[in-house]
Amino acid sequence: MEAVELYRKANKNTESARLLAEIAQKLQEKRAPPLMIKKIYVLAAFEIDSYKQRVFDASMTQITSGGNTADATAKTLNSLITTDINSSADKALSNPWKGAEAIHYYLLCQRQLYQKEYNRAMKTAIRLIEYEKELDTREVYSLIALASYYNKCYKECSKAFVKLERMPNTTKEVREKFESIALALFSRHSPVDAPQVKFPCPKKGCDAQVSEYDTNCQRCGSFYSACIASGQSIVVKEYYTCKTCKHKAMLKELDYLSLKHCPLCHAVVQPQTKS
Ligand SMILES: [Zn+2]
Ligand SMILES: [Zn+2]
């Protein structure tokens, strides 16, 4: 941590970010408290964001042209900086928020389960599939199985069980345990999902109907951002974007939870920027 501080003081953001991400990964392997790990990942992401901003500002001051040209140049620059970072093989640098998001949704899903908000918990659990690399595949599908079971979506639940049973490196003993739980569950419930709310895909020109649990549209390929407050896909226009971490939350979820701080990075929610 001292080294991180030194790098920060020397404005070596990428170095400190890499170090922070490493620390977070090691803590994750040691099963340290997830909230602490999430905070370290958030710090790492802040370092990368401030690096991008600094490179961007420095380059912009050298550009003196006005109006649209400056805008266009700004866009090009931004994408160049991002490509530059992406070309480094380091995943902590190319997608700095991924680690923090993974643990954030993981904790959110557990909280929703404890609060018996099974519909929300299932949406958050399904979102976690995007974070299989950051978390543990078994943990992700166990949460999906649990949440969809309580949410009475037995088809989704049985799919999660199949995934768990067929995972590589599963011992015979563990597999048999999964099989016997599945047998007990599905002898009482046929593997059918409870009715799902459908909504039109928000993409212009796409007439697909998507389920409330979908994170993308099968027809047009649109990807729906997750709401950091609730874990569900954002398919409405009324959402808030955090000024600090740039993640989105649905306004009605912010109100529902009476959130005053960004659930991901803890920046203050600024009501005037709600749009
Ligand atoms: Zn669509
Ligand atoms: Zn934020």
Nearest ligand, CA 273? 2
Residue 205 CA, ligand 2 centroid: distance in Å: 31
The mean predicted confidence, pLDDT, of the chain is 88
- Residue found by looking up tokens 């790990």 in the block: 37
232 to each of 17, 214, 253, how far by Cα in Å? 29, 9, 10
**Are the beta carbons of 191 and 154 closer than 8 angstroms?**
yes
pLDDT of the residue at 216:
95
* pLDDT above 50: residue 61: yes
Q: Which of 142, 168, 188 is where one domain is finished?
A: 188
Contacts of 81 (CB under 8 A, 6+ apart): 52, 55, 56
Nearest to 84 by CA among 62, 117, 56: 56
Structural domain contains residue 15: yes
Indicate the residue among 69, 87, 105 that finishes a domain. Answer: 87
Please give all residues whose CB falls under 5 A of ion ligand 2, grouped by chain where several chains appear: 242, 244-245, 262, 264-265, 267
| Average pLDDT value for residue range 94-114 | 94
For residues 220 and 206, is the Cβ–Cβ distance under 8 A? yes
Q: Is residue 22 part of a domain?
A: yes
Q: Which pLDDT tens digit goes with each residue over 218-243?
A: 999 999 999 999 999 999 889 999 99
pLDDT digits (tens, 9 = 90+) for 116-131: 999 999 999 999 999 9
Q: How many domains does the chain have?
A: 2
Please give the residue range of the domain that contains residue 149. 115-188
Same domain, 82 and 138: no
Q: 236: CA distance to ligand 1 center in Å? A: 14
The ligand that comes nearest to the alpha carbon of residue 200 is 1
Ligand nearest to the CA of 242: 2
For residue 259, being part of any structural domain is answered with no
Among the bound ligands, the one closest to the CA of 220 = 1
Ligand 2 center from residue 266 Cα (angstroms): 6
210: CA distance to ligand 1 center in Å? Answer: 8
Tell me the mean pLDDT in the region 161-174.
92
DSSP symbols for 204-228? TT---EEETT-SB-TTT--BPPBPT
What's the ipTM? Answer: 0.95
Q: What is the pLDDT of residue 67?
A: 55
Token representation of residue 204: 């212009």
Instruction: Answer yes or no: is 12 within a domain.
Output: yes
User: At 275, is the pLDDT very low, low, confident or very high (cuts 50, 70, 90)?
Assistant: very low
* pLDDT for 211 beyond 50: yes
The first and second tokens of residue 135, run together, are 């978390």
Give a three-class secondary structure readout of 92-130: HHHCCCHHHHHHHHHHHHHHHHHCCCHHHHHHHHHHHHH
